Structure 1
Amino acid sequence: MPESAPQRGFRLFAARLTRLALLLSVLAAPVPSAAQGVDLFELLEGRWDLPEVYDMKGDDCVRDANGHCATVRKQDWCQPSSNFVTISFSENRSEAVFDWNRPLKSAIGKTVEQSRYIVLSREPQVLTMLLEGETRKTAEGEAVLWQLRVLDAGTFCWRRTDWKPGACTVVRTRCP
Structure 2
Amino acid sequence: MWDENITRIAGVDEAGRGPLAGPVIAAAVIFPKEISLKGINDSKKLSEKQREELFPKIFEKAFSVGVGTVDNIEIDSLNILNASLEAMKRAVENLSLRPQHLLIDGNRYRSHGIPFTTIVKGDAKCFSIAAASIIAKVTRDKLMKELDEQFPVYGFAQHKGYPTKKHVEAIQKFGTCEIHRKSFVVKGWK
Task: Normalising by structure 2, report the TM-score.
Answer: 0.29
Higher helix share goes to which structure?
2
Q: Structure with the greater relative contact order (CA < 8 A, sep ≥ 6): 1 or 2?
A: 2
User: Greater strand percent: which structure?
Assistant: 1
